[in-house]
């Protein structure tokens, strides 16, 4: 291969810029030319490319978001859109593609790679940490720190006013952000999609802790949790049944997706970018580069997307013990 293209797709995450930077510099190291694609797969269809060299990515390692911009392209889901994308890659003499994103991005990459027998390697960039075969995704650590910082602030005011706060965090299908930030921020209860707690059990537990002397409380709720899905309804239910507290709701929302990446995410992004270009140089394709037990690993797309990523049961136990 001589020329590669890199894009970011799906929900952005802190550290995507560091990953682009790493792909660009690893390409320069191997004497490959490197192009950036604007707005993910949509940019392939719109022929929106920019040539990048080692210097074009200066001052990007510390920046949140993605300077290549991101999108969830509907056109790329259709064969006609993918045909256009392929023609544009050929017209620009691009031999291989590096895609940075989450499960939607890898699903697109897998279909595209197989359809046109085109070399594609993925880098996991999502705050959700919901990709199988990698211990961590780029942006997750930063998002956790953002959430913990926000909940620390909520705790101050919750404690001053003897209030109970429901704090909604991101994670449509995955409870990693909720569980880990919940433990880190000392939450009373953590509601995650992987475990259905049920409202009665939640109420019993809140009553028990109130009776044990707690005067304020924080419940972290993943947006995808069954009972947390309608967070205002949950707040009303608790308010009616636990009148000792005043119940408030805070939805953290997209604040979790922004900000300067943590050192961990910057290093992870740098490692995975180098790993992606190494893999292409070895002739590999249809794989994601991940990290497993400290080692950089290559994981087939179908395992990354379809493999079952389980929540850490031991961590749930730790959360339960900590909230005694
Ligand atoms: O997948 C990342 C994520 O931030 C999810 O946690 C969240 O459910 C979703 O993206 C939000 O998407 P959007 O930015 O399109 O509202």
Q: Ligand 1, atom 15: nearest CA belongs to which residue?
A: 11
State which ligand 1 atom lies nearest to the alpha carbon of 172.
8
Q: How far is the CA of 5 from the centre of ligand 1 (A)?
A: 25
Q: How confident is the model at residue 285 (pLDDT cuts 50, 70, 90)?
A: very high
**Residue 133 in contact with ligand 1 by CB distance below 6 A:** no
Asked whether residue 309 carries a pLDDT value surpassing 80, the answer given is no
pLDDT surpassing 90 at residue 305: yes
Q: Of all protein residues, whose CA lies closest to atom 11 belonging to ligand 1? A: 11
CA–CA dist 118, 96 (Å, integer): 7
d(CA 76, CA 84): 9
| Average pLDDT for 106-117 | 98
pLDDT over 90 (residue 157): yes
CA distance 107 to 111: 6
pLDDT-derived band at 172, boundaries 50, 70, 90? confident
Cα 170 to ligand 1 centroid, rounded to whole Å = 7
Does the Cβ of 128 fall within 6 Å of ligand 1? yes
Q: How far apart are CA 197 and CA 323, in angstroms?
A: 15
Angle between helices 313-322 and 176-184 (to 10 degrees): 30
- pLDDT tier, 158 (very low <50, low <70, confident <90, very high otherwise): very high
Residue nearest to atom 13 of ligand 1 (CA): 11
Q: Which of 128, 193, 223 is the pocket-test mutation for ligand 1 (most atoms within 8 Å of CB)?
A: 128
Question: What tens digit of pLDDT does each residue of 49-87 get?
Answer: 999 999 999 999 999 999 999 999 999 999 999 999 999
pLDDT band for position 306 (50/70/90)?
Answer: confident
Residues 185, 109: Cα–Cα separation, whole Å:
36
140 pLDDT higher than 90: yes
Task: Give, for 88, the enclosing helix (H) or strand (E).
Answer: helix 79-91
Report pLDDT digits (tens) over 7-48.
999 999 999 999 999 999 999 999 999 999 999 999 999 999
Annotated binding site for substrate: 126-128, 163, 170-172, 223, 248, 254-257
CA of 12 to the centre of ligand 1 (A): 8
Query: Which pLDDT score is estimated for 31?
Result: 98
Return left, alpha or beta for 29; rule: phi > 0 is left, psi -120 to 50 is alpha, else beta.
Answer: alpha
| Mutation test residue for ligand 1: of 66, 103, 172, the one with most atoms within 8 Å of CB | 172
From residue 143, alpha-carbon distances to 213, 258, 313 in Å are 32, 8, 22
Give Cβ neighbours of residue 243 (< 8 Å, ≥ 6 apart): none
Which residues are identified as catalytic?
A: 128
Indicate whether residue 104 lines ligand 1 (CB < 6 A).
no
Tell me what the pLDDT averaged over the chain comes to.
96
As a whole number, mean pLDDT of residues 303-322 equals 90
Nearest CA to ligand 1 atom 14: 11
Structure tokens at 7: 């894009």
Q: Among 8, 10, 11, which residue has the most ligand 1 atoms within 8 Å of its CB, making it the best to mutate?
A: 11
3-state secondary structure of 223: coil
The secondary structure of residue 28, as a DSSP letter, is H
Residue-level pLDDT at 227: 85
How far apart are alpha carbons 71 and 157 in whole angstroms?
37
* Whole-number Å distance between alpha carbons of 234 and 229: 9
Q: Are 95 and 52 in contact (CB under 8 A)?
A: no
Task: Kindly tell me the number of DSSP H helices and DSSP E strands found in the chain.
Answer: 11, 11
User: Whose alpha carbon is nearest atom 8 of ligand 1?
Assistant: 172
Confidence (pLDDT) at 104: 96
Q: Please work out whether the CB of residue 257 comes within 6 Å of at least one atom of ligand 1.
A: yes
- Confidence grade of residue 308 (pLDDT, cut at 50, 70, 90): confident
Question: What pLDDT, in 10s, does the model give residues 204-263?
Answer: 999 999 999 999 999 999 999 988 889 999 999 999 999 999 999 999 999 999 999 999
Find out whether the beta carbon of 105 lies less than 6 Å from any atom of ligand 1: no
pLDDT mean over 144-170:
97
- What percentage of the chain exceeds 70 in pLDDT? 100
| Shortest-distance atom of ligand 1 to CA 10 | 1
% of the chain exceeding 90 in pLDDT: 94
Distance 128 CA to ligand 1 centre (A): 8
Rounded average pLDDT over 276-300: 97
Lowest mean pLDDT among 90-104, 191-205, 284-298: 191-205
């Amino acid at each position: 291969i001589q020329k590669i293209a890199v894009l970011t797709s799906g929900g952005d995450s802190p550290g995507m810029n560091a990953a682009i930077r790493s792909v660009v510099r690893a390409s320069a190291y191997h004497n490959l030319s490197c192009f950036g694609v604007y707005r993910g797969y949509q940019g392939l269809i719109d022929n929106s490319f920019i040539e990048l060299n080692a210097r074009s990515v200066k001052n990007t390692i510390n920046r949140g978001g993605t300077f290549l911009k991101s999108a969830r392209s509907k056109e790329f889901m259709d064969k006609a859109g993918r045909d256009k994308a392929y023609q544009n890659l050929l017209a620009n003499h691009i031999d291989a593609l590096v895609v940075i994103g989450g499960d939607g991005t890898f699903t697109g990459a897998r279909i595209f790679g197989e359809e046109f027998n085109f070399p594609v390697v993925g880098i996991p960039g999502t705050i959700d940490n919901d990709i199988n075969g990698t211990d961590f995704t780029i942006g997750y650590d930063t998002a956790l720190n953002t959430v913990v910082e926000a909940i620390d602030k909520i705790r101050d005011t919750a404690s001053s006013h003897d209030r109970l706060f429901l704090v909604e965090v991101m994670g449509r299908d995955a409870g990693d952000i909720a569980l880990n930030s919940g433990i880190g921020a000392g939450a009373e209860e953590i509601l995650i999609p992987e475990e259905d707690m049920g409202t009665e059990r939640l109420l019993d537990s809140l009553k028990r802790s109130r009776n044990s002397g707690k005067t304020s409380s924080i419940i972290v709720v993943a947006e995808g949790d069954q009972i947390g899905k309608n967070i205002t309804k949950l707040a009303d239910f608790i308010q009616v049944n636990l009148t000792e507290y005043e119940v408030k709701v805070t939805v953290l929302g997209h604040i979790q997706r922004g900000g300067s990446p943590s050192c961990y995410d910057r290093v992870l992004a740098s490692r995975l970018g180098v790993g992606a270009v190494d893999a292409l140089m070895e002739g590999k394709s249809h794989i994601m580069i991940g990290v497993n037990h400290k080692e950089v690993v290559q994981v087939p797309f179908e395992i990354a997307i379809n493999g079952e990523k389980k929540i850490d049961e031991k961590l749930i136990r730790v959360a339960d013990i900590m909230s005694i």
